Amino acid sequence: MTGDRKTHWDCVYREKPEASLTWHQDRPAVSLALIDNAGLTPSSSVIDVGGGTSRLAASLLAIGIRDVTVLDISGVALDHARDQLGDAGKSVKWIATDITAWSPDRQYDLWHDRAVFHFLIDPDERRAYVANLKKGLRIGGHAIIATFAPDGPEKCSGLPVVRYSPAELGAVLGADFELITHRNEMHQTPMGRTQSFQFSLFRRIA
């Protein structure tokens, strides 16, 4: 499964210009608004799971966060993201792996995921993700998880997804996570379509 998935995403990032990717955003505005609620300081650590070529890492560096990690299954995406950042990219840690097959070796203050968890349609993979979230996020730390909302599309990048409300997502994460707040976003794709997303901010309480 990991091999097929990696091939899919490497092809997408090799073949499509970034500005044509349906999920592309010039500025991750909703993520940054929720990050404001997480009380980060310059010494906080952040991991962007399935970060692809998102501008989030650049935005975090711009607000003074120095400990930034970007994880993605696609090494091609990470190469593009590193090139985009230029010298600033040298301070970012880049991890090319499948989130469900990885094991974090440290804990972060903030875990961010926009449009990755929703691809996990197999319950075992969701369990592996949540186990990694617990290993990789300190107690008291925050997780922002954005997925297609219940009225969002059934597929993303041609792959089936599971759509969530904030409460449904909270139920999958379990009692160790408290839902702090959430936002809805009607994302405009480069082709002019609208995709309904939910962004939930959780705190790890146990």
Ligand X SMILES: C[S@@+](CC[C@H](N)C(=O)[O-])C[C@H]1O[C@@H](n2cnc3c(N)ncnc32)[C@H](O)[C@@H]1O
* Interacting residues with ligand X (CB under 6 A): 5, 9, 23, 50-52, 54, 72-74, 77, 98-100, 114-116, 119, 156-157
User: N- to C-terminal Cα distance for the chain?
Assistant: 31
**Residue 67 pairs with which residues in a beta bridge?**
45
Work out how close the CB of 206 gets to ligand X at its nearest, in angstroms, rounded to a whole number: 25
Which of residues 50 and 104 has its CB atom nearest to ligand X in the complex?
Answer: 50
Q: Which is nearer to ligand X, 9 or 111 (CB)?
A: 9
DSSP, collapsed to helix, strand or coil, labels residue 137 as strand
Angstrom distance (rounded) from CA 181 to CA 27: 21
Nearer Cβ to ligand X, position 44 or 147? 147
State the minimum distance, in angstroms, from the CB of residue 9 to ligand X: 3
Shortest spacing between CB 8 and ligand X, in angstroms = 8
Q: Report the distance separating Cα 64 and Cα 70, nearest Å.
A: 16
Q: Computed over its alpha carbons, how large is the radius of gyration of the chain?
A: 16
Residue 107: CB minimum distance to ligand X, A: 19
